[in-house]
Amino acid sequence: MKRRQAAVFLDRDGVLIREVGYLSRVADMRVLSGVPEALKLLRQAGFKVVVTTNQSGVARGYFTLKTLKGLHAELKRRLARSGAKWDALYFAPQAADSGHPWRKPGIGMLKAAQKRFGLDLKASYFVGDRFSDVQCARNAGCAAIVVRTGAGRSYKGPKPDAFRRDLLSAARWIIARS
């Protein structure tokens, strides 16, 4: 029987890039230290790398869908300059109170990636820095890792499977377990 593909789901703000609160300008985007290396290690280990991000700033009118897509294109370019990339990026532009299944802690984005790549969610991991990330991981049956970058510095919520210093530390922990 063929083993199904595992993924590492990643939150964007506070995990891949510095948390600034409703990022709307490329000039304010900073890739966190170790992120390109972490993405390369995870993909070399055979994981699909999938970014999942709530972006209610669109629904709130803080920035447009076009601006958001431009930010993601620039982030992809910056990572590519370091030889790193993700396999997919999904975002939920709906308002926090919308109840939309794609908004974390809902698992709509994870289900879309599961369908696209044939993923085994129970063999997968979710790296985030907030309660909604851990709850999303739990709802999907993934292992949850909280990084101490971004909001993870003061995380209070359900206990994740692990706390790690940053994404690179989390990637090494994940690879050691698989």
Give the pLDDT confidence score for residue 1 in this predicted structure. 45
The reported pLDDT for the residue numbered 3 is: 63
Range of the domain at 72: 7-177
pLDDT, tens only, 3-43:
689 999 999 999 999 999 999 999 999 999 999 999 999 99
Closest C-alpha among 93, 8, 21, 103 to residue 51: 8
End-to-end CA distance of the chain: 18
* Across 81-88, average pLDDT: 98
Query: Catalytic residue among 11, 87, 129, 133, which?
Result: 11
1 domain-assigned = no
Find the catalytic residue in 13, 87, 133, 166. 13
In a domain, 2, yes or no: no
Domain count, the chain: 1
pLDDT at position 4: 80
Band (48; pLDDT cuts 50, 70, 90): very high
Residue 143 lies in a domain: yes
Q: Do residues 103 and 92 touch, judged by C-beta distance below 8 A? A: yes
Reported as a single tens digit per residue, the pLDDT across 92-145 is 999 999 999 999 999 999 999 999 999 999 999 999 999 999 999 999 999 999
Look up the CATH number of the domain holding residue 121: 3.40.50.1000
Look at residue 158 and tell me whether its pLDDT is greater than 50: yes
In a domain, 70, yes or no: yes
Q: Establish whether 13 is a catalytic residue.
A: yes
For residue 74, report the phi and psi dihedrals to the nearest 5 degrees: -70, -40
Output the pTM of the full model. Answer: 0.97
- To the query of whether residue 11 is one of the catalytic residues in this protein, the response is yes
